[in-house]
A and B are shown apart, each in its own frame.
Chain A
Amino acid sequence: MTVGFVMLVDAALERAAQVARHWAESGCPVVIHVDAEVTKRSYDAFRRDLADLETLEFVETRRRCEWGSWDSVAATMDGAEMMLDAFPDVRHVYLATGACLPLRPVAELQTHLAGRPHTDFIESATVESVDWSKGGFDRERFTFRSPLSSRKQGSLFDRVVRLQRRSGRTRQVPEGLVPHRGSPWWCLTRSTLSALLQDPRRREYEDFFRSVQAPDQSYFQTLVRKYAWRVESRSLTLSKLDYQGRSQTFYDDHLQLLRRSDCFVARKIWPLAERLYSNLLSNDPGVTQNAEPDPGKIDRLFNQAIERRTRGRPGLYMQSRFPLQKRENGESSGSYSVFEGFDDLFDDFEAWLSKTTGNRVHGHLYGPGCAEFAGGEAIFNGGLSDSAAIRDYNPCAFLRNLVWNTRGERQCFMFGPSDNQDITDFIAGDRNAQISVITGTWAIRLFRQKEAPEAVRKEAARLQRIEQEHVRILGADWAKARIRIWPLAEFIEAPMDNLQCILDEIGPRGARRLTEAPRLTDLTGFGRFLQELKNEGMAIHLAGEFSVGRDPTPIVPDSPRRLVVK
């Protein structure tokens, strides 16, 4: 009693011959179906090459087996029939291809099967229970006709499906069958296979499956449930699919991974992977050196690859990932904080913030002169230049680069109406951004500059207009950033409370209590200054209501008072 291999071969004939010879010489009968696409010359050479093997037969009717077509199922059945007739001592039939490679000595497979003489190894799950198929429309695969290939005639295929869905014309699954799907690579017992091949209703089933999508993944998988004595729903062949349902290829560098597989055969193998063939195609356990099985490791590798292809690394913009605006999940790769107006209101705010939070605190990154990197550096992480021209050439890319280059570390920077405003839309729509704004603080700077009233009024009007526009965008309904806006007068009411709630969001929850307050800039005479601006004819509304006589005293002057906010 032994296992026989039915091989579907379509390319890389030398490798297929090598594997077929290995199996045949290890005492396993082999039946080979060669695709009709293979030229007569290569086919003849292939047959000649294997002519010396007695337990190796060829299926004479060569079909054109497009991947997932009915013909590949028909070819499989031809091969299986031949196997059962020609080799009566075959108890299990293993379906393989020319791109398969045994991972373990044949003896191990035989022992495994001999211990389970009545078990069919085939991945077979009800259609309802899995989203196994890619592009899945699951049950519809069975109830709709699909005479077309979804891959080759994509749009036409979609149209046919849509048409059927709309017309409601579905068809009945043959009585007694429950649709199942699974990996196309199986190993079935003689009794199951012959029952399947000799079923009086075989014609009826074939007619049905002929127009089912991907019959190679459903025909045997469904029918096996009718005859099998015991189904072990797993494939003995390691085969990973990519996100479009194509088989992944194994290369030389996968050798260690393959040694840890719990499967007996892998597909598909790159034909030029010499190291894999020379290390695994052997019946000597010393050569194959199989290690403790760890199939999870293989799963992880390929799942990560799919994840990388379909979701990518959030916030990364590069040559092969360039998400259109609004499509992707969050615009930048990590959290950052924008502080607007704080450096006008507090003296030395950046140093204080850096000390309190331990984060990297930049000055006005979008300032008119240059990008003010923390510590006044001319070049920053990743080779970012402080040149305003380079930054303004693509302001959003500048910020995304900065956040990407420093991933794992929150960046904080100052912003204000004198800065380049082009990033407003971007930061407002970025859910990684935390934006805290004290409006009207530009007036403090003007107040300190003590310039001619006319110039001050003009500048104030300009800044207020810019800030107003900025605040309007921050308030848009599509804004995703965490945004807090206080008019100056309101912020000053309880500066420490307000700061605390910003910092709570930045730092670990509840970890920090502000013990040292930043120093409020001296605002003596500021109320008067605002009033004079108003007297000049300017309407100031962003700063809030400041009464003339109200000169807020610095909350925490130099005295080292401990401030506890409950």
Chain B
Amino acid sequence: MSATSTYRLMLKRHGYQLRAWRRGRDLTPVTNRTQAIRPQDVLAFTTLRNERVRLPYFLDYYRAQGIGHFLMVDNASDDGSRDYLAEQPDVSLWTTPASYRGARFGVDWLNRLQHRYGHGHWTLVVDADEFFVYPYCDTRPIQALTGWLETCGMRSFSAMLIDMYPRGPVDAEPYSEGQNPFEIASWFDNGNYFISRNPEFHNLWIQGGPRARVFFPDKPGAAPSLNKIPLVKWRRDYVYLQSTHMLLPRALNVTYDDQGGEMTSGALLHAKFLSTLARKAAGDVQRKAYSGQGRENRANDTQLRNRPVLWTRWSEKYINWRQLEILGLMSKGNWA
């Protein structure tokens, strides 16, 4: 790597930090309980809009996993999400009416909060519809994973996004509050992901799955990215570039072995394709909030009106992390 490219990446990183700082000023604290954060806590960072019905299960899921504190940004919800979160003892909440897109889909806001509160902690950045799964997650809390990563000298952990979908039309079975979304959306694609390596930031770029198959059969290049690095031992000079797809400094993106071995990795089960989606996608298109990733959302919206069925007879029904491991979607690596 030449000195100029190192320098260029450093400038880029500073640029993103400055941006996070500017966008961070749009955030108004609702309840700030960050005093309660203990030095060893694993912290979760989330941006959301109108996710009230999902929140109870979301919080319980991650509490059970061992998350110590939730730092959340509410982007002008009008469904009671804010009041609900403000009451939770382990949630610190900020709110903003500013544009989601303007904050690069919330990345700037969270970069700012991570800079401020995440330094020295393991931080997990997830959306309200993303559920983190890692090897042994059914028997070991998240501290076991972070502790192990630390002894191995690893600072970041990869967990690819796996789109989950129901058997019938996406909106056929209504989702009710507190319910495990994967009781409904329990199916996934297990072997149609394609990967390439990003030469600039050294991360892997993963696409595929049901969205590429159903919504982008003619232009797969536009299909959404599924690579994610949501768990990082944060330092205040780190920044996420695009959602949690990649970070700077770019050494954090090398969560894979290029010599044939397998590093440990997890998955983010994506409970997007539920009855809650139709309403949400329509709202998003109206607000044009997503138009950067608008292709995807417009496609979703059009398709959703046709009540798509993502299920095929080759779909796999989700059982547990071991199944994902055997299928080759994630790996235990050398963690035994």
Assess whether B147 is interfacial by the CB under 8 Å rule: yes
Interface string of A158-179 (1 = CB under 8 A from B): 0000000000000000000000
Assess whether B204 is interfacial by the CB under 8 Å rule: yes
Give residues of chain B (295-336) contacting chain A, Cβ–Cβ below 8 Å: 312-315, 328-336
Instruction: State the Cβ distance, B258 to closest chain A Cβ, in Å.
Output: 5
Contact between A320 and B260 (Cβ–Cβ < 8 Å)? no
Contact between B152 and A401 (Cβ–Cβ < 8 Å)? no
Bound form: Cα–Cα A506–B155 in Å: 46
Contact between A387 and B210 (Cβ–Cβ < 8 Å)? no
Indicate whether A381 sits within 8 Å of B191 (C-beta atoms), given known contacts A305-B335, A322-B197, A323-B260. yes
Assess whether A383 is interfacial by the CB under 8 Å rule: yes
Bound form: Cα–Cα A380–B312 in Å: 9
Assess whether A308 is interfacial by the CB under 8 Å rule: yes
Instruction: State the Cβ distance, B194 to closest chain A Cβ, in Å.
Output: 4
Assess whether A42 is interfacial by the CB under 8 Å rule: no
Contact of A389 (CB < 8 Å), options: B218, B258, B314: B218
Contact of B255 (CB < 8 Å), options: A251, A320, A381: A320
Q: Which of A116-124, A286-294, A356-364, A392-400 contacts B (4 or more CB under 8 A)?
A: A392-400
Contact between B213 and A379 (Cβ–Cβ < 8 Å)? yes
Contact of A251 (CB < 8 Å), options: B136, B204, B216: B136
Instruction: State the Cβ distance, B188 to closest chain A Cβ, in Å.
Output: 8
Contact of B194 (CB < 8 Å), options: A310, A328, A387, A393: A393
Q: Which residues of A contact B147 (CB under 8 A)?
A: 249, 270
Bound form: Cα–Cα A161–B255 in Å: 30
Assess whether A130 is interfacial by the CB under 8 Å rule: no
Bound form: Cα–Cα A397–B136 in Å: 29
Assess whether B212 is interfacial by the CB under 8 Å rule: yes
Report the nearest B residue to A322, measured CB to CB.
B256
Assess whether B193 is interfacial by the CB under 8 Å rule: yes
Contact of B217 (CB < 8 Å), options: A270, A301, A327, A389: A389
Bound form: Cα–Cα A319–B203 in Å: 10
Assess whether B25 is interfacial by the CB under 8 Å rule: no
Assess whether B114 is interfacial by the CB under 8 Å rule: no
Contact between A321 and B218 (Cβ–Cβ < 8 Å)? no
Assess whether B46 is interfacial by the CB under 8 Å rule: no
Instruction: State the Cβ distance, B229 to closest chain A Cβ, in Å.
Output: 9
Bound form: Cα–Cα A249–B259 in Å: 25
Contact between A320 and B256 (Cβ–Cβ < 8 Å)? yes
Report the nearest B residue to A309, measured CB to CB.
B334
Bound form: Cα–Cα A322–B265 in Å: 13
Assess whether A318 is interfacial by the CB under 8 Å rule: yes
Contact between B140 and A251 (Cβ–Cβ < 8 Å)? yes
Contact between A320 and B334 (Cβ–Cβ < 8 Å)? no
Interface string of A206-247 (1 = CB under 8 A from B): 000000000000000000000000000000000010111010
Contact between A319 and B217 (Cβ–Cβ < 8 Å)? no
Indicate whether A305 sits within 8 Å of B336 (C-beta atoms), given known contacts A318-B195, A321-B261, A385-B217. yes
Indicate whether A308 sits within 8 Å of B331 (C-beta atoms), given known contacts A251-B136, A323-B258, A389-B220. yes
Instruction: State the Cβ distance, A169 to closest chain B Cβ, in Å.
Output: 32
Instruction: State the Cβ distance, A188 to closest chain B Cβ, in Å.
Output: 28
Q: Which residues of B contact A327 (CB under 8 A)?
A: 258-260
Bound form: Cα–Cα A308–B135 in Å: 13
Bound form: Cα–Cα A40–B95 in Å: 43
Q: Which residues of A contact B144 (CB under 8 A)?
A: 249, 251, 270, 272
Residue from A304, A308, A321, A327 having most chain B Cβ neighbours under 10 A: A321
Report the nearest B residue to A379, measured CB to CB.
B312
Assess whether B209 is interfacial by the CB under 8 Å rule: yes
Bound form: Cα–Cα A310–B218 in Å: 38
Assess whether B148 is interfacial by the CB under 8 Å rule: yes
Q: Which residues of A contact B261 (CB under 8 A)?
A: 308-312, 321
Q: Which residues of B contact A318 (CB under 8 A)?
A: 160, 193, 195, 262, 265, 328-331
Q: Which residues of A contact B158 (CB under 8 A)?
A: 319-320
Q: Which residues of A contact B219 (CB under 8 A)?
A: 389
Instruction: State the Cβ distance, A93 to closest chain B Cβ, in Å.
Output: 28
Contact between A404 and B260 (Cβ–Cβ < 8 Å)? no
Contact between B263 and A251 (Cβ–Cβ < 8 Å)? no
Report the nearest A residue to B226, measured CB to CB.
A319
Indicate whether A312 sits within 8 Å of B260 (C-beta atoms), given known contacts A383-B189, A383-B190, A387-B218. yes
Instruction: State the Cβ distance, B55 to closest chain A Cβ, in Å.
Output: 27
Indicate whether A246 sits within 8 Å of B152 (C-beta atoms), given known contacts A251-B139, A252-B140, A320-B257. yes
Assess whether A405 is interfacial by the CB under 8 Å rule: yes
Assess whether B221 is interfacial by the CB under 8 Å rule: yes
Bound form: Cα–Cα A310–B209 in Å: 28
Residue from A251, A319, A384, A393 having most chain B Cβ neighbours under 10 A: A319
Assess whether B196 is interfacial by the CB under 8 Å rule: yes
Assess whether B275 is interfacial by the CB under 8 Å rule: no
Contact between B263 and A253 (Cβ–Cβ < 8 Å)? no
Contact between B258 and A301 (Cβ–Cβ < 8 Å)? no
Contact between A390 and B220 (Cβ–Cβ < 8 Å)? yes
Bound form: Cα–Cα A321–B221 in Å: 22
Instruction: State the Cβ distance, A307 to closest chain B Cβ, in Å.
Output: 9
Bound form: Cα–Cα A172–B334 in Å: 38
Indicate whether A249 sits within 8 Å of B197 (C-beta atoms), given known contacts A319-B206, A380-B314. no
Instruction: State the Cβ distance, A193 to closest chain B Cβ, in Å.
Output: 31
Assess whether B143 is interfacial by the CB under 8 Å rule: yes
Contact between B260 and A390 (Cβ–Cβ < 8 Å)? no
Bound form: Cα–Cα A240–B335 in Å: 12
Report the nearest A residue to B219, measured CB to CB.
A389
Report the nearest B residue to A243, measured CB to CB.
B334
Q: Which residues of B contact A251 (CB under 8 A)?
A: 136, 139-140, 144
Contact between A320 and B330 (Cβ–Cβ < 8 Å)? yes
Bound form: Cα–Cα A418–B329 in Å: 33
Contact between A397 and B210 (Cβ–Cβ < 8 Å)? no
Contact between A390 and B255 (Cβ–Cβ < 8 Å)? no
Indicate whether A320 sits within 8 Å of B212 (C-beta atoms), given known contacts A270-B147, A312-B262, A382-B192. no
Contact between B336 and A302 (Cβ–Cβ < 8 Å)? yes
Assess whether A499 is interfacial by the CB under 8 Å rule: no
Contact between A252 and B139 (Cβ–Cβ < 8 Å)? yes
Contact of B259 (CB < 8 Å), options: A302, A323, A380: A323
Contact between B194 and A401 (Cβ–Cβ < 8 Å)? yes
Assess whether A324 is interfacial by the CB under 8 Å rule: yes
Assess whether A354 is interfacial by the CB under 8 Å rule: no
Residue from A305, A309, A320, A382 having most chain B Cβ neighbours under 10 A: A320
Bound form: Cα–Cα A393–B216 in Å: 12
8 contacts between A and B (CB under 8 A): A246-B152, A272-B143, A308-B262, A309-B261, A311-B261, A383-B210, A390-B212, A401-B191
Contacts A321-B260, A321-B331 supplied; 15 other A-B pairs, CB < 8 Å:
A249-B144, A251-B136, A309-B261, A310-B260, A318-B265, A320-B256, A327-B258, A379-B213, A379-B313, A383-B192, A383-B315, A385-B213, A385-B217, A387-B218, A404-B191
